């Protein structure tokens, strides 16, 4: 099936796809303007957004819409054709199989570093096709209200930290003028290793989170820093990590060490937050300086370990480690 054919089906259902074509560029397959002097526009009405819970695999591992839902036949035909020729069946399942094959072959020392940087043991387990599908869908979801939705066509746009944002407007919209490939910003605030774990490709980040670390502080106890950045408080646009007093000390869900877009914020958030637990301003700054140095060493050693391996994933991880190290040294 040609891309123009799937766009015709999309438009017939009420979707908008102006001035776009699918071709290969420096990020692989992506969306480009047909005429770079004119804006592109893609709009997916709410009725064309799919819920991950609607999808199943048939015996040939193609994505199908659950028949019992009795959804509009024309939409079902569009979505199943889209996934077969431009999504899951076309590239998704094969790319995930190749990625996990390389991931399981990583040397033990590299896996240990990844655990230090917030990955989990199960990340390295052998996966089934259903596991691949779960990952595939998780990397393509957008939150609209209280629901996760999938975005056909728009999801073909590649990521850049400097890309344009999607707009939730009675569905999902993406538009702009691009001289070359159209690029979107998926999650600009993610640490690069967090981003790679979800999306499986290297994207330079503007932020660095500390690795897992435990620090014993006199008269305070054990400060346990994790990399769990799902539970946050946002105050005036600034992300505040959760800090909790425990019997043995202080639990901190994550610590941002560098924010390229706001260089003073990470240190201030840490020192302000930890002073609530009777840690002096001087000691708070000493701890933060120590975390910077500790993470520099960790990323340097991680990059060196990756450099020794010919594994494809290891090469991506080496590049990520060097980029994060660069941010820590600025």
Domain residue ranges in the chain: 3-186, 207-329
Identify the CA nearest to 211 among candidates 80, 321, 132, 55: 321
Identify the CA nearest to 328 among candidates 301, 304, 292, 282: 292
What is residue 190's three-state secondary structure?
coil
Cβ atoms of 40 and 31 within 8 Å: the answer is: yes
pLDDT at position 14, please? Answer: 98
Instruction: Tell whether pTM > 0.75.
Output: yes
Q: What's the rounded Cα separation, in Å, for the pair 307 and 318? A: 6
pLDDT truncated to tens, each residue of the chain (330 aa)? 999 999 999 999 999 999 999 999 988 899 999 999 999 999 999 999 999 999 999 999 999 999 999 999 999 999 999 999 999 998 899 999 999 999 999 999 999 999 999 999 999 999 999 999 999 999 898 888 889 999 999 999 998 878 898 888 789 999 999 999 999 987 655 789 998 998 898 888 888 999 999 999 998 999 999 998 765 666 666 778 999 999 999 999 999 999 988 877 899 999 999 999 999 999 999 999 999 999 999 999 999 999 999 999 999 999 999 999 999 998
Q: What's the rounded Cα separation, in Å, for the pair 179 and 127? A: 40
Q: What's the rounded Cα separation, in Å, for the pair 224 and 241? A: 13
CB half-sphere exposure, 57, CA atoms < 13 A: 15
């Amino acid at each position: 099936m040609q891309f123009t054919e799937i766009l015709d089906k999309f438009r017939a259902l009420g979707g908008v796809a102006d001035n776009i074509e699918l071709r290969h560029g420096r990020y692989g397959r992506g969306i480009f303007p047909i005429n770079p002097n004119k804006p592109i526009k893609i709009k997916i009405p709410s009725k064309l957004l799919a819920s991950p819970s609607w999808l199943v695999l048939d015996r040939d591992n193609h994505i199908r819409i659950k028949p019992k839902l009795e959804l509009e036949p024309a939409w079902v035909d569009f979505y199943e054709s889209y996934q077969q020729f431009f999504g899951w069946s076309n590239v998704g399942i094969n790319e995930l199989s190749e990625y996990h094959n390389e991931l399981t072959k990583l040397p033990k020392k590299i896996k240990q570093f990844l655990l230090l940087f917030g990955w989990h043991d199960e990340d390295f387990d052998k996966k089934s096709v259903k596991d691949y599908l779960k990952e595939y869908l998780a990397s393509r979801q957008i939150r609209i209200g209280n629901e996760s939705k999938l975005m056909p066509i728009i999801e073909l746009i590649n990521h850049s930290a400097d890309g344009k944002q999607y707009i939730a407007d009675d569905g999902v919209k993406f538009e702009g003028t691009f001289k070359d490939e159209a690029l979107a910003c998926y999650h600009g605030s993610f640490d690069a290793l967090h981003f790679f774990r979800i999306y499986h490709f290297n994207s330079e980040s503007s932020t660095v989170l500390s690795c897992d670390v435990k620090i014993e502080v006199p008269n305070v106890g054990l400060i346990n820093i994790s990399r769990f950045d799902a539970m946050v408080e946002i105050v005036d646009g600034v992300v505040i990590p959760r800090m909790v007093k425990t019997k043995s000390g202080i639990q901190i869900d994550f610590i941002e060490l560098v924010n390229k877009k706001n260089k003073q914020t990470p240190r201030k958030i840490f020192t302000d937050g930890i002073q609530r637990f009777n840690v002096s301003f001087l000691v708070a700054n000493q701890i933060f300086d120590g975390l910077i140095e500790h993470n520099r060493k960790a990323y340097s050693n991680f990059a060196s370990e990756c450099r020794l391996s010919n594994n494809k994933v290891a090469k991506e991880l080496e590049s990520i480690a060097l980029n994060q190290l660069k941010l820590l040294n600025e």
